[in-house]
A = this chain, B = another copy of it.
């Protein structure tokens, strides 16, 4: 049975919504452990007491160092010690990254862990990797991201032969910046993935590929730009529709359609972002996650544990060593 450690105090709606999501996931047979203050022992879930909390705006590395007893660090430590297979938190993203590197540590052979973010598109999820774990990357990192993303798609999203594309500014292999052009050549040569060439940004929300590979700067930018563009367009639409009486009536009539679109584009379906390349699965849910997002995150994390995704990632990357050995290189935050 998959064991998932949940940071009960992470996120804007903690602990109520987090606990509710954890309870829902526990009902489906997942071994969920809460990490949080002792007052949370009334819910019937296993509790590891962690009295301090890392705030959403605290400086990540400093906060992780200063608060080893926080719910976030405690949940990560449960994975590090082998008590849990995966950790879920809707708390401070940077702190999750830092705690993941510091406590859970990199898998042997992984140069840079990366954030994988499932984007809901009309054809199903499209996995963007790296969503922002690394601001600067080298071509060989992008190749590893592609391999890790493909394993994630196969094991967690249930897509056995995911297509991979490289995000660039044109479909031709020679289009792009130096990093992208060199990464394209590496990806093309790889037999570990089903590489189908470059993807254009304009196709991202349409579902350019099962796995879309990019560096963390571009990936993070793209995610925030899509989010902001969708929000601004819907705001404009609301403004213009409510500006006239006829518009308001029309707005009422299209409300179910608007609701269906929101459901189709709902990132909560996939629970958040997945930090891949550590010795355990780490899920970073949105700061405003409600019970549904948390339950989905826990379920996907459990699925990853059941499918032994960490072993699969380890096997698929070069320079691997058995789990439990010393890491090949300590991360910078150590």
Q: Which residues of A contact B (CB under 8 A)?
A: 122, 132, 135-136, 167, 169, 175-178, 180, 200-206, 215, 217-218, 220-222, 224-234, 236-237, 240-241, 243-244, 246-247, 249-258, 260-261, 264-265
Contacts and interface: CB of A to CB of B under 8 A. Distances in A.
Given A169-B217, A221-B222, A229 B250 contact: no
A167 B175 CA distance: 22
Contact of A257 (B222, B229, B240): B240
A180 B256 contact: no
B257 A254 contact: no
Nearest to A94: B170
B228 A204 contact: yes
A114 to B, nearest CB: 14
Given A217-B169, A229-B225, A254 B261 contact: no
Contacts of A220: 169
From A180, A221, A234, A243, name the one whose CB has the most chain B CB atoms within 10 angstroms: A221
The majority secondary structure among interface residues of chain A is: helix
A232 B226 CA distance: 11
Contact of A224 (B135, B136, B169): B169
Given A204-B229, A229-B230, A243 B257 contact: yes
Given A204-B225, A205-B232, A253-B253, 14 more contacts: A169-B217, A201-B221, A201-B222, A202-B224, A202-B225, A218-B218, A233-B233, A233-B234, A246-B253, A247-B254, A250-B252, A250-B253, A251-B253, A251-B254
Ranked nearest first, the 6 interchain pairs of A and B with the lowest CB-CB distance are A250-B253, A202-B228, A250-B254, A240-B257, A201-B225, A177-B217
Contacts of A237: 237, 257-258, 261
